[in-house]
Amino acid sequence: MSIALVGIGKIARDQHLPAIADSDRFALAATVSGSGGIDGVENHADIAALLHARPDIPAVSLCMPPVPRFVAARAAIAAGRHVMLEKPPGASVTEVFRLERLARAAGVSLFATWHSRMAAGVAPARAWLAGKRITRLRIDWKEDVRKWHPGQDWIWQPGGLGVFDPGINALSILTELCPGALHVAEAELTFPANRDTPIAARLTFTDGAGLDATADFDWRQEGGEIWQIEIETDIGALKLTEGGARLFIDGAEQPTAGCGEYPALYRHFATLLAEGRPDVDTAPQLHVADAFLLGRRVTGAPFHD
């Protein structure tokens, strides 16, 4: 199936393009980029031009920053195209709900992706947790923003999410492992004095029954990334590291298998198209929204890229 990639930035080049190139279900037919596309691939200046010129392309994958994504997704849905959304699926929860309703009414598939859920250790971790009582949960998600988002001003602007851009990856795993079990009870958000989104966040979750559950997100990490989730239960402990790629049960590493996060996303998108259904889960984004609603704001040192 032909697919168009909209927004040719770092995530598109690092993840989407290789995944599509290796896919046996999709072929890249066109791109949309105002700053230049991909050598040998037809490029359009905006999504309106693409939709007009290429009615034969049934699916689009939107990789631009979250704030402009709603307009592009709405236009694609109105043109009868299936839509895949890079995470987070929108700049607000409300607009994602609107897109889902529009997609259902138009009879097209809408896929709100959460790539970290496709990490090799996540599915076996969920299977191991089934039937166990969680007693403690700890998330540490820390990285160097200068390494992973160099010169990307949009992340510091309203709607850019700041440290929640990577932090929502952890929350996507959390809501996969513990669907509907927790909500944010307290939050502390550290904003650089010269920025509009947080550089660090500390969250406390509750299950209403005294569970000890916290998350610590930080973009000021030096000396290597920390992307891990630790869960203690009534009959053992689980640890996911490297963003969910590695799984440990009671200290012993478990065998895992997978095709890679983004190849798995495109496989799932193909399945959705074949079955004619959407997949739109806003649970990770709801945690972020609650953190902003409940969060105590702390002003930190100015950040300069």
Closest by alpha carbon to 184, among 199, 164, 165? Answer: 164
- 239: annotated active-site residue: no
pLDDT the model gives residue 106: 97
pLDDT of 107 strictly over 90: yes
SS3 at position 149: coil
The one-letter code for the residue type at 128 is W
Catalytic residue among 10, 87, 132, 147: 87
**Which tens digits make up the pLDDT trace of 55-93?**
999 999 999 999 999 999 999 999 999 999 999 999 999
SS3 at position 220: strand
Single pTM value for the model: 0.95
DSSP H helices, the chain, are 10-11, 17-22, 47-53, 66-78, 93-106, 122-129, 145-148, 164-177, 261-275, 283-294
Q: Are 96 and 80 in contact (CB under 8 A)?
A: no
pLDDT of 180 strictly over 90: no
The mean pLDDT value for 139-167 works out to 95
Rounded to an integer, what is the distance from CA 243 to the centroid of its chain?
12
pLDDT of 24 strictly over 90: yes
d(CA 237, CA 179): 19
Number of helices (H), then strands (E), in the chain? 10, 15
Q: Are 211 and 136 in contact (CB under 8 A)?
A: yes
CATH class entry, domain 117-257+288-300: alpha beta
**Which tens digits make up the pLDDT trace of 263-288?**
999 999 999 999 999 999 999 999 99
Taking the domains of the chain in order of start, what are their residue ranges?
2-112, 117-257+288-300
- Please provide the CATH number assigned to the domain covering 2-112: 3.40.50.720
pLDDT of 35 strictly over 90: no
pLDDT the model gives residue 259: 86
